[in-house]
Structure 1
């Protein structure tokens, strides 16, 4: 990436060397203009800078000249009349191919070279090859984490006397990470909107930054934001939760720290296992604990009957995710969307290829939580190391986990905690139940109590409901056995460290 200091140093070198053409690739014209003004002072020179709104402005003296909307005619006369002159065109368009405009620029460029001058083109777009061959290019990307950190510090200093802003250095660093990928103006707008909305800033408002951020991009049809309850609780999955807490610290480390050690942020997990045991719930758990926005990505929604449209939609969806990063992305039952690639479907194979390339190569901080019920339908390419940070197997809860879940749902739905002896009885009765089965029984008990006029649900009622419930493991014993056999050999247990041979799956 080209940050402000690096791009400025390159541009300074090119101007000193009197390179005839310098292309500054950037979507932020305002930052480039600030860079040019600083170079005017450092090089003790003058740069004439054209924009449609202000016409030609001398950045050193501040003089302004109206050129009647035709800057190329002015530029031609500019180079005829002086040697070593520097002229800059702000936010130039239509540069990617040969046309009347680029041919005229080419003529001016030859005149510029004869006069030992420099023509600067500021553009976010590609440049016609014949033009590019006559000059050099520098790239000014959106602010990096250091620049965003400095900008946020200046914002806090500017408004700290007017609003209660309680952000320490850790909060500033977290905000700088959350605002990755935005221009200076966008960062300023997000901070200002959050400050005014809450009449101040504290650590709890970091999550609000991500909500403001998602509003700057038009959501695509296949991606929907998912609300995460502040009161979300999780039971069981102890090893997965500990693993996620460790990876959370890595995920938010600055880019330069990771680069020093040759590391990348964790890119996601694949959760396979028994239905109803918390795979989909885990995506919400990650988003809440990591304080990141959650999006559900329906890969099946990108497919279209028209040639090339599916690939375009997939590209659009992946671009959206890169733009709103850092975030958590949940893909539910991923096998249903990606299984088409193994059925001789060329479109499906191309879409899968796009997705796998993004999963492997994307540098944006997107943490993917993909769930699968039928792992036999997943393409083997998905399990290549580097595409998921880890593959976990989510099994039926054991006695301790069932007890924890029963207490959790009883407190939430019945507003009471059963006695230890009652919990022990319910744990025995719930053998073979998933978390979804336990939730169903406790909510049925709460509903029955409400229908009885608000009476509390007693132990006998819950015990009877557990006896009546036929869990998935009992109705589909062969499917559960096959899933467990796969999980023992090819995944890590989400409940505890896997002691069986093989560990994580290797292709």
Structure 2
């Protein structure tokens, strides 16, 4: 939805007598711009309130009589109305205003825990319901008392869409005029916008300004800087990790069945599939033995389809505060939808949406699981979900039934041909010549090894070779392999149980 469409949606809510609108966002300035734009078209006054400032007519608001219209932008702050800093005083004053207006109340929700303030707020809201004035509450992690929540409508201010990001690039270029050289072609600007998707407007402007000022110019080479900063911003959010296509070097040995399925599934995103009213693939679930390439498969899918990869560790969703876990899930899926087309990798899904908690968490895991199923079924954006799981016993049965995912794959221990490919990949990655090793002997020695165990044996052997000041050779590798006890031995019964269940119900990746 473009910013103009967002404004129209907000205007519709105001005109349809909604007295309380809640905008839960960290982008306070953008919410303020939305309210101002909507109010100007409706010819309504706008008042801002904060506990620090009190109530004041918003700059640029129609009939803002006590601001200097000829002063430079942002050179003076609006003059606050006397004795309106306290929430109760502000609400009583608002009740006396007899013309239509929108009141932007910043971080106001916490004050509604006071009984007198909550009662006065409801009386103002009842009054506004009859003449189209509106109270807009903004802030982060908003919780409303029950008696107020049922009268409020929540407005979803999504992350900036391309039209806002194009404007952000123009604004930064104009503000830095004379200090930087702008050398952007239309395709470069498009690449900038794609790289900025998933960031707040303020973050996007900052990262463009940083990229421009670092070398005194804004050109196509700055896309890499933006992607690097974007990965950092998403990681700082604490829920997701971001892997841009340019930095995804994943290689997957074997998995022929999965690769063939992916090649077929990719056509589901094309125009021909849409002409037949076919819905694009929703996602896949990969279950199997630890260290056998489930995580690598998720990265390879993103690389093969040339899409960004977002990784969600399901365990990160949980928070000690009531309602925050659900909010974390909404935040993660909203970010994924904003960045579409994207691959969303939910790692160890059974830890966050499984059965391990029972009733000990007050039903939170079941609620999150319900949210996930609903979102997976109804998501409208091109987000392909790759969920991975190790423990089948903790996965809810509803998730395993046909139709939830497009396919469920089982990853078993690698066979001889796959182990050959794994050895060649990891030896080459560490500047070793695979042809100088007895690969056949290594493959035979690693019967029952996972891909991760093979990689670790190579790493340990390389450390030993460096320590002994000698080149890596087959004998050193065999020595490390013999010293390793693979999972197929240490957890033989668990693996046999998993294999028995999976081979009957799921598709093998081979």
Where does residue 68 of structure 1 map in the other structure? 82
Please, what TM-score do these two structures have when normalized by structure 2? 0.68
Separation in 2, partners of 1:111, 1:488: 65
Separation in 2, partners of 1:138, 1:314: 18
Matched, 1:410 2:427: yes
Match of 1:208 among 228, 231, 237: 228
Match of 1:435 among 432, 446, 451: 451
Alignment CA distance shift 1:376-1:8 (3 Å)? closer
Segments of 5+ residues of structure 1 without an aligned counterpart are: 80-84, 304-308, 496-507
Structure ID, larger Rg: 1
CA contact (8 A) 2:462 2:472 kept: yes
Alignment CA distance shift 1:271-1:109 (3 Å)? closer
Q: Write out per-residue CA displacement over residues 458-499 of structure 1, whole angstroms, 9 at most, x where no aligned residue.
A: 34554566677665546766655544443332212223xxxx
Where does residue 133 of structure 2 map in the other structure? 119
Where does residue 47 of structure 2 map in the other structure? 49
Matched, 1:491 2:506: yes
CA contact (8 A) 2:281 2:406 kept: no
Q: Write out per-residue CA displacement over residues 182-229 of structure 1, whole angstroms, 9 at most, x where no aligned residue.
A: 4x3344345445655687554434532433433663x3xxx6869998
Q: Write out per-residue CA displacement over residues 80-103 of structure 1, whole angstroms, 9 at most, x where no aligned residue.
A: xxxxx3233222635868954455
Where does residue 25 of structure 1 map in the other structure? 22
Please show how residues 4-43 of structure 1 align to structure 2 within 5 Å. 4-8=4-8, 11=11, 22-26=19-23, 27=25, 30-31=29-30, 33-35=32-34, 37-38=36-37, 42=41
Alignment CA distance shift 1:332-1:99 (3 Å)? closer
Alignment CA distance shift 1:494-1:291 (3 Å)? same
Where does residue 100 of structure 2 map in the other structure? 86
Tell me how many residue pairs correspond in the alignment: 458
Matched, 1:240 2:238: no
Q: Secondary structure at the match of 1:294?
A: strand
Separation in 1, partners of 2:189, 2:268: 18
**1:250 Cα deviation from its structure 2 partner:** 7.7
Separation in 2, partners of 1:74, 1:336: 48
**1:442 Cα deviation from its structure 2 partner:** 2.9
Give the superposed CA RMSD.
5.0
Where does residue 357 of structure 1 map in the other structure? 370
Q: Secondary structure at the match of 1:418?
A: helix
CA contact (8 A) 2:309 2:345 kept: no
Please, what TM-score do these two structures have when normalized by structure 1? 0.68
Where does residue 318 of structure 1 map in the other structure? 329
Separation in 2, partners of 1:349, 1:47: 45
Q: Write out per-residue CA displacement over residues 43-85 of structure 1, whole angstroms, 9 at most, x where no aligned residue.
A: 6x46253445472257234422642033556545542xxxxx3
Segments of 5+ residues of structure 2 without an aligned counterpart are: 67-78, 85-89
CA contact (8 A) 1:297 1:330 kept: yes
Where does residue 371 of structure 1 map in the other structure? 389
Please show how residues 11-410 of structure 1 align to structure 2 within 5 Å. 11=11, 22-26=19-23, 27=25, 30-31=29-30, 33-35=32-34, 37-38=36-37, 42=41, 45=43, 47=45, 49-52=47-50, 53=53, 55-57=56-58, 59-64=61-66, 66-70=80-84, 71-72=90-91, 74-79=93-98, 85-91=99-105, 93-94=108-109, 99-101=115-117, 103-104=119-120, 118-124=132-138, 139=155, 141-143=157-159, 145-151=161-167, 154=170, 158=174, 162=181, 168=188, 171-172=191-192, 174-175=194-195, 177-179=197-199, 182=200, 184-192=201-209, 200=218, 202-214=222-234, 217=237, 219=238, 232-241=250-259, 263=279, 266=282, 269-283=284-298, 285=300, 290-298=307-315, 314-315=325-326, 317-319=328-330, 321-322=332-333, 325=336, 328-332=344-348, 334=350, 338-340=354-356, 345-347=358-360, 350-362=363-375, 363=379, 367=385, 369-372=387-390, 374-385=391-402, 387-410=404-427
CA contact (8 A) 1:24 1:137 kept: yes
Separation in 1, partners of 2:497, 2:45: 72
CA contact (8 A) 1:23 1:122 kept: yes
